[in-house]
Amino acid sequence: PIGAIITFKYTGFYKSGKPKFPSFLRVRSLTGEMM
């Protein structure tokens, strides 16, 4: 949903600064409850 916070993990960074091999963990609303 719009306004939700996406949490993901990664295994490092590319030289450009982007996360390397990101994988999804969870979605949270702005109130902090799990969706």
Which residue reads 């949903």 in tokens?
1
Residue-level pLDDT at 11: 94
Chain segment 4-34, per-residue pLDDT in tens: 899 999 999 999 999 999 999 999 887 655 5
The DSSP element (H or E) to which 28 belongs, if any, is: strand 23-28
Question: 23, 19, 29, 28: which is closest to 9 by C-alpha?
Answer: 23
Both tokens of residue 6? 């996406």
Residues 6+ apart with CB under 8 A from 11: 20, 21
Q: How many CA atoms lie within 13 A of 25 on its CB side?
A: 9
What pLDDT was estimated at residue 1?
75
